């Protein structure tokens, strides 16, 4: 059981399942579901590509994770050997790409592009100012577009708007994570992340601005065609208020207050999840 738990943490299985839910939501909000074999393939793609990417991330980041005292990282803690993690990553990429082969060409192209980008991110992009943050944000947005393209040849405006919300939320979250991990990233990878280039406090102010932008952006899908009801509006408004509060917290946060940075990073994912539930409630 310890080994299973370690691999679940290596793969960040909860993130993988969230991406599958995002694909399913993209399909449902596009008005249809594919036949069962294609549905299973479409949900498997983000799960396995994400699992491979996170396993590869921990393989490259073992020294940084040790420096940052990330005892939850199973390679850094000694629970999984680096070679085993690398083999697991490769197998996950193979399964994820294979699952995309029966899907429409645009969905397959997205799979190949983001699989390649995830490898480039883990190898080098994450060390560059804002580039790595944008990739992670894009990886949070693309499942909705992917799901849309599995069932329809065009992208619907409200799906694009939901993807934009996910991108902005993900970008704000990743900048905060870069600020949180700055010391270890610089010492062990020589990284030139955004907080290194512009300063941690300025990076937090940028995250605050992104979170503030989500207050009106979160309502955009309803403005351009997504059906609204009391439950969907209520949940999305709760998300909007949450991001407004997080914007204020990020703007006031000290660049040495690691506890606040960790709280902001975790809460932003929860707030985004509530917003996605609100968009899903439009189907009721």
Residue 107 contacts residue 155 (beta carbons within 8 Å): no
pLDDT (tens, 9 = 90+) of the chain, 284 residues, equals 458 899 999 999 988 988 999 999 999 999 989 999 999 999 999 999 999 999 999 999 888 788 777 788 999 999 999 999 999 999 999 999 999 999 999 999 999 999 999 999 998 888 788 998 999 999 999 999 999 999 999 999 999 999 999 999 999 999 998 888 787 666 666 677 888 889 999 999 999 999 999 999 999 999 999 999 999 999 999 999 999 999 999 999 887 778 888 889 889 989 999 999 999 999 99
Residue 251's pLDDT is 93
Residue 227's pLDDT is 94
Residue 1's pLDDT is 45
Residue 70's pLDDT is 79
Which CATH superfamily, name and number, covers 1-121? UbiA prenyltransferase (1.10.357.140)
Residue 190's pLDDT is 66
Give me the residue spans of the domains in the chain.
1-121, 156-284
DSSP assignment of the chain: -HHHHHHHHHHTHHHHHHHHHHHHHHHHTTT----HHHHHHHHHHHHHHHHHHHHHHHHHTHHHHHHTT-TTSTTTTTSS-HHHHHHHHHHHHHHHHHHHTTS-HHHHHHHHHHHHHHHHHHHTGGGSTTHHHHHHHHHHHHHHHHHHHHH-SS--HHHHHHHHHHHHHHHHHHHHHHHHTHHHHHHHH----HHHHH-HHHHHHHHHHHHHHHHHHTTHHHHTT----HHHHHHHHHHHHHHHHHHHHHHH--TT-HHHHHHHHHHHHHHHHHHHHHHHHTT-
For residues 249 and 267, what is the distance between their CA atoms, to the nearest angstrom?
11
| HSE toward the beta carbon, residue 57, CA cutoff 13 A | 22
């Amino acid at each position: 059981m310890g080994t299973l738990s370690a691999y679940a943490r290596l793969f960040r299985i909860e993130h993988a399942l969230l991406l599958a839910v995002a694909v399913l939501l993209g399909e449902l909000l596009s008005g249809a579901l594919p036949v069962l074999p294609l549905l299973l393939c479409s949900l498997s793609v983000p799960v396995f590509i994400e699992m491979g990417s996170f396993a590869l991330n921990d393989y490259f980041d073992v020294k940084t994770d040790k420096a940052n005292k990330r005892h939850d990282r199973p390679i850094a803690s000694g629970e999984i050997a680096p070679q085993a993690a690398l083999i697991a990553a490769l197998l996950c990429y193979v399964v994820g790409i294979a699952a995309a082969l029966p899907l429409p060409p645009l969905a397959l192209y997205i799979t190949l592009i983001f699989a390649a980008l995830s490898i480039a991110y883990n190898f080098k992009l994450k060390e560059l100012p804002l580039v790595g943050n944008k990739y992670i944000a894009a990886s949070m947005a693309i499942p909705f577009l992917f799901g849309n393209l599995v069932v329809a040849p065009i992208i619907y405006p409200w799906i694009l708007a939901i993807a934009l919300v996910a991108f902005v939320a993900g970008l704000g979250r990743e900048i905060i994570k870069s600020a949180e991990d700055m010391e270890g990233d610089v010492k062990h990878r020589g990284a030139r992340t955004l907080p290194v280039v512009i300063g941690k406090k300025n990076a937090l102010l940028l995250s605050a601005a992104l979170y503030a932008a989500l207050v009106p952006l979160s309502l955009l899908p309803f403005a351009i065609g997504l059906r609204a009801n009391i439950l969907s509006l209520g949940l999305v408004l709760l998300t909007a208020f949450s991001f407004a509060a997080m914007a204020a917290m990020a703007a006031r946060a000290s660049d040495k207050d690691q506890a606040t940075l960790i709280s902001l990073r975790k809460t932003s994912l929860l707030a985004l999840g509530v917003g996605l539930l609100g968009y899903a409630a439009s189907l009721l």
